[in-house]
Structure 1
Amino acid sequence: MTETVARRGFVAAMKPYLRPRPAAAFLLGISSGFPLTLLLGTMTFWLAKVGIDKKTIGFAVGLTTPYTLKFLWAPLIDRVRLPILTGWFGQRRAWLFVVQALLFASVWMLGASQPELHIGTFAFWAIVTAFLSATQDIVIDAYRIEILPDDELAHGTAANQFGYRTGNFIAGVGTIAVASSEGLGLGWALGYGLTSLCVLPGALAALWIGRGLHDQVVQRGGRGWFNDTVVSPFREFFRRRGALLILMFVLVYKLGDAMGQGMLNPMIVELGFSDKEFLAINKVVGLWGLLIGTAIGAPFLAWLGMGRALFVSGVLMMLSNATFAILAAKGHSPTWLFIAVATEQVTSGIGLTVFATYLSGLANVAYTATQFALLTSFAVVGRTWLSTPSGYVAEAFGWVGFWIVTMIVALPGLVLLWVLWKRGFVVDTARQEVSEEPEVAAAEASQPG
């Protein structure tokens, strides 16, 4: 009887993933996930294969800049209407279709640019693709939040992460398999060109689901276009109680996890693991661990509520780094590598779903693109720039000491969460509402999520 009840409970927890809107969020995730992998993972592999020197390859890190600055042009996505298309499809879908068409073309041009002969042309199309990819993320994130009702937000966010990882996999393994001489050998131009078709799942999902909530919100401005477009979204957010604390929390919550991820591969190499061991454990086991963690993230959130889910998932991510400290002490141990990677990826998947759902709930439906872009930009800064000293920490303390430091670095995020929770800034309601007047919404908004 108990087993039957447990099975029914599991089925009930997973069933929302099959609803139309979470399924659409999965398709949107595929379109969102493939470009960054093409730009960083696949592109650096390609450049190394054609003999480009390491110093030149290093410029790829700069391609993450549009992702950290995307909040600067996100207000245009919220407010600027595209002639004819906005009337036909609505604000979100009109922008999505235009950006995806441009992204499709830029990926084709990037693949055909022959970096070994024309590195300048290659760099130009890489930058264009990065900008369009970041812009697509603005649109998709806003549209996803707006099409998901409150009772499907967590499952839809998790499904979106599934799709994102699927897009990562296609752009990484799939593109290299098509292009590489060790795979189908069809060349990089065709490999990148075929991968650009990953824009289609997101476009089909948008056609299937229809207009987002943004198109149903009445927005009236009384101080001109610039005020409505640029000032109001930020003013509405920063007038909330605890706005600065929330941004600080977003900045540091996953910092310990980010530091660990940056140094994981170098440690694996230094411990003497072969390429076969690396691919089998870190990629295959890691991928499935992340998918499992992402899948159970939504039921986990429903069970604990937002505040407790954020805290427990933060503690789990922190403690998972202890398994890498043990691996570092053991040395070359495939068993402990398996345990560490599986543990870290499952806990990271849970944390990613919970955290992304929390950020989604913070965005006011009148300014979804701008406010979510602001929040995710802060999160990216925490993952990239604040984690850059990780190499110096590993050099100074050794691998065991390094992983202990990552656990200590995770503590400020938990402390800030506790402060937010105690002050009533972490709540279980799904998202911000908006009144007809932006000024009224700004004055009345007193809770962050």
Structure 2
Amino acid sequence: MVSREEDGNNLSWGGTLKAYGHPRVVTMLFLGFSAGLPLLLIFSTLSLWLRDAEVSRTTVTYFSWAALGYSFKFIWAPIIDKMPLPVLSALIGRRRAWLLAAQLMVIAAITWMAFTDPSSNLTAMALGAVLLGFSGATQDIVIDAYRIESADQRLQTLMSSSYIAGYRIGMLVAGAGALKLASYFGADGGYDYQAWQWAYLCMAAAMGVGVLTTLVIREPAGEPEPSRYFNSLDHYLRFLVLFLMAVTVFVGLFVHLGEQGEEIKRALSGLVMINSLLTGFLVESLRLLLALAGAYYVARLAVRLGIGNRDMLRETYVAPLTNFFRRYGKAALLILVLIGVYRISDIVLGVISNVFYQDLGFSKDQIADITKTFGLIMTIVGGFLGGALALRYGVMRILMLGALLSAGTNLLFLLLSQAGADLYLLILVITADNLSAGLASAAFVAYLSGLTHISFTAFQYAMFSSLMTLFPKLLGGYSGSIVDAVGYDTFFVITTLLGLPVIYLVYRARSSGMRAVESSG
């Protein structure tokens, strides 16, 4: 089936640019800022604070687990789809109620961390970081659902690019902005807890942008109906107990199996004909599947014990999956594979990119100024360009363009590798790579949005976005080993070749006539 957009969009360039001023598009800029702010307060910014407080490197790396909520947010996304919040949902609507609650939790978590000195109470800091990861991921779930439900498909590409721009700005404020504030308040002269405290309190205040936006926007007209099972306190409590049981087992198994997986990889590493990279990937995949299986069987046990309601679980978790496979039939697996590998070229390369720049001889200041600050600007420009092009020419065409550029621009890194620390060539490479990444991301977010069904927006999009990064990040974890084995030049060729199946999958997705973004417009 061919959509209106595939037939061509007659909107002029002036009309396209004017559409960026649509209230829904502008709203996503501010909500994107609110979504991008929490992430680096768990990662790089917090890592520097902890090292400043003389926390060991090993302990610092453990804090990265606090952001696991972003990878597994699909687990509680169905709750947001189906469960209204008592009192608050009746006052401002279900989506805005969840959004406001998540933003207030983010503020509370950042404030908690601000009033915790890691040099004296590392456990409390860890709990605050976990709360921030959970609440930040929850905010992401609601914003994605709100974006999809609040406007028709024609605006989704522009809203996606606006959201990406706001998200990147939020990350910049939480990264470079928080560090500059800490330095301004006195963190440059040795460890100063109050300097970091004030920096984090400023970040909590910056979340006011998201809260104010939530209070002034309208509730989307297309949100799904709440579940009939969440109509009493008893149902709330029983579901909460079941959910906590399943999550506890999932997290416990995932962490515990990490140690077992390392032992398996070490045992197999000495065997002849065993590929260590493939072994590592398979072991990590098995670890995830076993953790999910453990959570599933605990949920089944809870139902047998009368803690949970079988029909409630079926409506909350099973129905969104069956809905997706029923709508797309045989093409469903093709779509899922495309989602899982579309970003593979740039994510796998991105994991090792900073190390590559340093090995090539660029200074830390050059890396920060060109790859981070200038690169951020190029990503935002690419996002807006991708949105405008997708609005004029259709999402699938720009999705194909993004796949071609993401793979092709990796060859520029090969050129840079052979040229050495050429500053002007680095600027050219970063310009091309980040423009293509922004363009591809905007088109891909719009594509994923079009795959969701209005009855299960939050869960289906959370599932897609988790799948989008899972395989590339697993493979990206071995990028250093690949470089050690074959060198940078061959590695860049490999990342380019990884993009070829993506191009084929996008072609199949377009030519098969499946009801993706443009056929649902």
Report the TM-score, using the length of structure 1 for normalisation: 0.89
Name 1:229's counterpart in structure 2. 316
| More displaced 10-residue stretch of structure 1: 356-365 or 420-429 | 420-429
Aligned partner (choices 106, 109, 112) of residue 109 of structure 2: 106
Name 1:193's counterpart in structure 2. 201
Aligned partner (choices 427, 434, 442) of residue 338 of structure 1: 427
In the TM superposition, residue 229 of structure 1 has moved relative to its aligned partner by: 1.9
Alignment partners' CA distance in 2, 1:307 and 1:273: 38
Change (3 A) 1:199 1:363: farther
Change (3 A) 1:182 1:126: closer
Aligned partner (choices 161, 166, 174) of residue 164 of structure 2: 161
In the TM superposition, residue 418 of structure 1 has moved relative to its aligned partner by: 2.1
Contact 1:107 1:196 in 2 (8 A): yes
Contact 1:177 1:183 in 2 (8 A): no
Partner amino acid for 1:237?
Answer: F
In the TM superposition, residue 155 of structure 1 has moved relative to its aligned partner by: 0.8
Equivalent residue runs for 1:205-224 within 5 Å: 205-215=213-223, 224=311
In the TM superposition, residue 430 of structure 1 has moved relative to its aligned partner by: 6.7
Change (3 A) 1:80 1:18: same
CA RMSD of aligned residues (A): 2.2
In the TM superposition, residue 302 of structure 1 has moved relative to its aligned partner by: 2.2
Name 2:81's counterpart in structure 1. 78
Change (3 A) 1:9 1:424: closer
Report whether the alignment pairs 1:178 with 2:181: yes
Alignment partners' CA distance in 2, 1:372 and 1:9: 31
Contact 2:42 2:64 in 1 (8 A): no
Contact 2:187 2:195 in 1 (8 A): no
Contact 1:306 1:426 in 2 (8 A): no
Name 2:325's counterpart in structure 1. 238
Q: In the TM superposition, what whole-angstrom CA distance separates every residue of 1:164-220 from its partner, at most 9, and x where no partner exists?
A: 011111101111111133679861112112112333222322332211134475877
Alignment partners' CA distance in 2, 1:329 and 1:50: 40
Contact 1:213 1:365 in 2 (8 A): no
In the TM superposition, residue 76 of structure 1 has moved relative to its aligned partner by: 0.5
In the TM superposition, residue 427 of structure 1 has moved relative to its aligned partner by: 4.4
Aligned partner (choices 203, 210, 213) of residue 211 of structure 2: 203
Equivalent residue runs for 1:9-28 within 5 Å: 9-28=12-31
Task: Tell me the secondary structure at the aligned position of residue 259 of structure 1.
Answer: helix
Contact 2:150 2:222 in 1 (8 A): no
Alignment partners' CA distance in 1, 2:421 and 2:358: 10
Alignment partners' CA distance in 1, 2:70 and 2:332: 21
Report whether the alignment pairs 1:290 with 2:290: no
Q: In the TM superposition, what whole-angstrom CA distance separates every residue of 1:5-62 from its partner, at most 9, and x where no partner exists?
A: xxx9543322111111101111110111111111112111222222222211211332
Contact 2:153 2:450 in 1 (8 A): no
Change (3 A) 1:203 1:231: same
Identity of aligned residues (%): 30
Report whether the alignment pairs 1:124 with 2:127: yes
Structure 1: state its 5+ residue gaps: 1-7, 432-448
Partner amino acid for 1:290?
Answer: T
Partner amino acid for 2:207?
Answer: V
Contact 1:26 1:159 in 2 (8 A): yes
Change (3 A) 1:151 1:420: closer
Equivalent residue runs for 1:303-322 within 5 Å: 303-322=392-411
Partner amino acid for 2:319?
Answer: S
Task: Tell me the secondary structure at the aligned position of residue 181 of structure 2.
Answer: helix
Alignment partners' CA distance in 2, 1:60 and 1:406: 29
Contact 1:104 1:196 in 2 (8 A): yes
Task: Tell me the secondary structure at the aligned position of residue 84 of structure 2.
Answer: coil
Aligned partner (choices 47, 52, 57) of residue 50 of structure 2: 47
Partner amino acid for 1:53?
Answer: S
Report the TM-score, using the length of structure 2 for normalisation: 0.77
Change (3 A) 1:182 1:335: farther
Change (3 A) 1:400 1:423: same
Change (3 A) 1:227 1:126: same
Larger radius of gyration: 2
Aligned partner (choices 61, 66, 76) of residue 69 of structure 2: 66
Alignment partners' CA distance in 1, 2:519 and 2:510: 16
| More displaced 10-residue stretch of structure 1: 164-173 or 197-206 | 197-206
Name 1:364's counterpart in structure 2. 453
